[in-house]
Amino acid sequence: MLVLGDSLSAGYGIDTERGWVARLAERIERNGLPHRVVNAAVSGETTAGGLTRLPALLDRHRPAVLVIALGANDGLRGWGFDVIRENLTRLVVQGREAGARVLLIGVRLPPNYGVSYTDGFQAVFMEVAAEQGVPLVPALLKGVAEDWGLMQADGLHPTAEAQERLLDNVWPTLEPLLSD
C-alpha cells in the first residue's frame, strides 16, 4: 500500500512514527493483513507534485492499494477547482492503470477562505470520487480540526494525540480495499 500525501500524512511537527500512516501500518499488522505501508507523503506537496512523483513510486512499489491524500496545499494556495480536479483525476487514473485499488482522501480548508471557495474545494473531492468510482474519505480532519486542543499552534496540523482519530476517519473506508 502506498500513501501519497502532504504534511497531514507525513506527520508534520510530530515524530513520524506517531503519525496516522505509521499507526495504519501497525493496525494492518495487528489485523494480520498482508500489506506493507509505504508513506510517500511530503510536507508541502501539491497534486501537481504528486503527479510528478507518482509514476516512479508506482513502478518501484507496485502497490495493491493507493491512498491519495493530496489537495490541501492546492487549496491553501487558492488554485482553481479545474486544476485540482484534473490533477486528482489523473492521480486516480494512474493508480488504477498500475493495478492499484484507489482511495481518495479529502480535507476541508480553514473558514478564512470563504464559504464559496471552501465548499467548492470540498466538492472537487466528491466529484472526482463519484466520476472515477473510487471510495472517498471526505474530511481527514473531521472531529480534529474543530478541537483546538488537537491542533498544533499553526492551526493547520494535528497533534500526535489526534493521529488515532485521523486513522479512525480513514479506516472504515480503507479496510474493504485491503481485503479484496
Tell me the catalytic residues.
7, 154, 157
Kind and range of the H or E element at 82? helix 81-97
What's the one-letter identity of residue 27?
R
- Give the residue among 60, 140, 124 at the shortest CA–CA distance from 92: 124
Grid cell listed for 139: 474530511
Please, what is the angle between helix 20-30 and helix 163-179, to 10°? 50
Contacts of 112 (CB under 8 A, 6+ apart): none
Say how far apart CA 140 and CA 61 lie, in whole Å: 24
